[in-house]
Amino acid sequence: MKPHIANLLNAATLIVMGLWGYFGSESSSPTALIPVVFGAVLILMNNGVKNENKVIAHIAVVITLLMIIALIMPLRGSIARGNTEGIIRTILMMATGVIAMISFIGSFRAARKARESGE
């Protein structure tokens, strides 16, 4: 999968699942909107990722990695509460983040290989 597609998938998942978590919960917390904000930032960066802008792509990777790590605590909380919907939402957000990370890393490796063979 191309990095910009994986980034867009990840961003859309963060936004949709975050909104679902906020509006679909009886006791909605503003922290459920954190993935929405980061998803919106990733969407704004998607054109730069598509155009292979190194700086933007690396910032997108850092944001994606931070989101994967940050979602560990909500996952643990959902598991402790027995909140199946929360578990599913969080796992989906983490899974699309991991897919995006794999895509980014593959792209970076391919670019390095192409750069080294071109020298």
What local confidence, expressed as pLDDT, does residue 55 receive? Answer: 95
Report phi then psi at 26, rounded to 5: -70, -40
pLDDT band at 25 (very low <50, low <70, confident <90, very high): confident
The SS3 assignment for 24 reads: coil
* Tens digits of residue pLDDT in 42-100: 999 999 999 989 999 999 999 999 999 999 999 999 999 999 999 999 999 999 999 99
- How many domains in the chain? 1
Cα gap 71→100, rounded to integer Å: 15
Residue 115 to residues 2, 72, 92, 109: CA-CA distances in angstroms? 18, 36, 34, 10
What local confidence, expressed as pLDDT, does residue 119 receive? Answer: 67
For residue 53, is it left (φ>0), alpha (ψ between -120 and 50) or beta?
beta
Percent of the chain clearing pLDDT 70 (strictly above): 99
Looking at the predicted structure, is the pLDDT value of residue 27 above 90?
no
What local confidence, expressed as pLDDT, does residue 106 receive? Answer: 95
What local confidence, expressed as pLDDT, does residue 89 receive? Answer: 95
Domain range spanning residue 88?
3-118
Report yes or no: 27 and 48 within 8 Å, Cβ to Cβ: no
